Structure 1
């Protein structure tokens, strides 16, 4: 028996609060889970700084990756023997599902923005580089690592395979909505996944849903909509992200200006110089980052010290609704007033914008083209979801944006009571 077909002598199961059990029978999958690169995901939180808002949100990318694998495993068990499904692609789909988030760094998106990184590029680098994951995949067949990387990169020739983990109704979204809802304690992310899996069908290019399951898909779309605005874009979470981002910017600035750190930031050096090697990337996880933040509270630089203290001890910035396009004059005046009272606005006056497009139909040629969800009618015809659903049609193609202005209220309140600048600042922020 080849390594590709090798099965465990006894099925392994992970107990899971979302799916109850995650089943592993393939030797390849079991070996991948045991690699250092995959185990590292235990030390990367799924929701970044959301734990400062929702105290239960301590779950990891490891949890989520196993969950996506399990959903794909269940989908494929339903696809056996159905038209358009090639059973030879089974192991490829399972591996891509398991490894799709492998390249996420500490605090994920905030970290990426500051250091100009791309977690998807690092996912491919881990899969194709000199890693334990790569060596396991290569044992399946010589070009198997490239196939897995192509699926995750959305360039694989079989579009049906890609749609399993990357589409507007995929295993990735179905897991993170339910998992994030469970750990944050909210009800928004729950939907009838069992029904969706039962009515999901393979076609030549993508997953489709029988029209009898339309209402379950509507529920899924609305769950996603609510989760983004009630959880993912929560203003308190964004306050923590703002501070996190400013800590990283400040430490990079100090390094570039030859500041002498009490604790030499050796784990950050390649990130500061934007010359990150794969091994250095894998060695930096959230436990390491938090250790530096804890130590940097004692730095002599007052800005770095204050920001780290705020992040570690949850002394977050306050916020107000603020549209920079309509309130630019007020923004410029605030910026000058902050400088006047000795508060650096580069770090303490921040506009943060969040936006989301909950569902979209096909818009060829546009950035991030989205393949729509199709319903399979009783006449065996494909109809785009928003054509049949009034609920989905009402939000299709509608991008919603939210702007907040973040600032340290405690610093402003500590200004001298007779200060004209202080009075004017509060007039603007009122």
Structure 2
């Protein structure tokens, strides 16, 4: 079977000339896929909603632009790219005889369009720094439920798919699995904007190999090598880009800046900066009214962080001002990856030197000298495995067929320990 991808606008017949009251076709010119069409006036309303427009101000790759200058793309770009790929996947599966109703089609596209709407400033970099242990997925769900009220239950099915609760498992897997539309877009997109060619994948080839067997999303066996390339690209991107030591130390430092700001506010120290950011940092204030949380959270974006750093770099508190300057001027701490944790005596030696140099007490030193561990796993056998449909119509897990897994290191988390401390003369 030969499948040709046509870069066309996906628009139902009734929407080919107009959306809403406008006579103009609503399309987005994407540098990755070309023109991306909005499926209907309803989807344009979702994209046009302030909750979604906020994603234009949320960096897709956190502070990676400090390493890769081109990595300034946003969650807005990514969400539209995922919508485009989902349209492709639906078309392929229907072409191969899989039944997807019109209601399921709309729900799939809603779920993937809104899957990251809950991300906060700088995306994963500040995941648990502003709203406790609430994940961006849980906040995305809250946004979807709020929009569902506005649209009188029209998002019910999308929410079920997003939560992985719909009875057709393959629909859930298109939105969230080890080979979903989210991953197919962000690898290709992040590779493009960072300029790291090794992370590029052929998302259209992978989508063309998708099928459904026993109610599960599968990849036809002839797509095996493409899946292996996808996993290798993802592994490379994590260690070379997402966990690059410089962007990692910048994001760790940014978290410490917010910790210091929260500590100062708790002690009654006055801070200028973004009003909405200060509301989330000021623990002495009453908790934000749950009924107003989403609207307040929706005001937060990258600009609030940068604006506050520019104010805090001049603050009288040395720790806050110094760390803010480090981010703004890219005078970041030195960071080194190690296979084993750093020995305690070397650690204490560096703390003593810095304490003497900057006249800081031990609690303040901890903001500048720190250690930790990062890990990544190429493929998991425990969560939504990638299934391969063999030429004999058997369904097997990827690791059973691929020689790619001859090394066990791809199936277990790979960890690196890091140590970070200020450079001399900073």
Aligned ranges for residues 14-413 of structure 1 at < 5 Å? 14-80=28-94, 82-88=96-102, 89-115=104-130, 116=132, 117-129=134-146, 133-134=147-148, 137-138=151-152, 142=153, 144-263=154-273, 265-273=275-283, 275-276=287-288, 277-322=293-338, 325=341, 327-341=343-357, 342-343=359-360, 344-361=364-381, 363=382, 370-394=383-407, 395-410=409-424, 413=425
Distance 1:382 1:159 in 2: 15
Contact 2:342 2:419 survives alignment (8 Å): no
- The 3 A distance-change label for structure 1 pair 267 and 195 is closer
- With the length of structure 2 as denominator, give the TM-score of the two structures: 0.86
User: CA shift at 1:150, angstroms?
Assistant: 2.9
- With the length of structure 1 as denominator, give the TM-score of the two structures: 0.86
Contact 1:265 1:292 survives alignment (8 Å): no
Q: Which runs of 5+ in 2 are unaligned?
A: 1-11, 19-24
Q: 1:9 aligns with which of 6, 11, 17?
A: 17
Report how many aligned residue pairs link the two structures: 395
Distance 1:263 1:95 in 2: 35
Distance 2:347 2:160 in 1: 45
User: CA shift at 1:202, angstroms?
Assistant: 2.1
Contact 2:60 2:78 survives alignment (8 Å): yes
Contact 1:31 1:136 survives alignment (8 Å): no
Contact 2:110 2:155 survives alignment (8 Å): no
User: CA shift at 1:264, angstroms?
Assistant: 7.5
Contact 1:160 1:204 survives alignment (8 Å): no
Deviation by residue 1:220-275 (Cα, 9 ceiling, x = unmatched): 11111111111101001012112211110000000111112245745322343393
Distance 1:384 1:6 in 2: 42
Superposition CA RMSD, Å: 2.3
Q: Which runs of 5+ in 1 are unaligned?
A: 364-369, 415-430
- SS state at 1:57 partner: coil
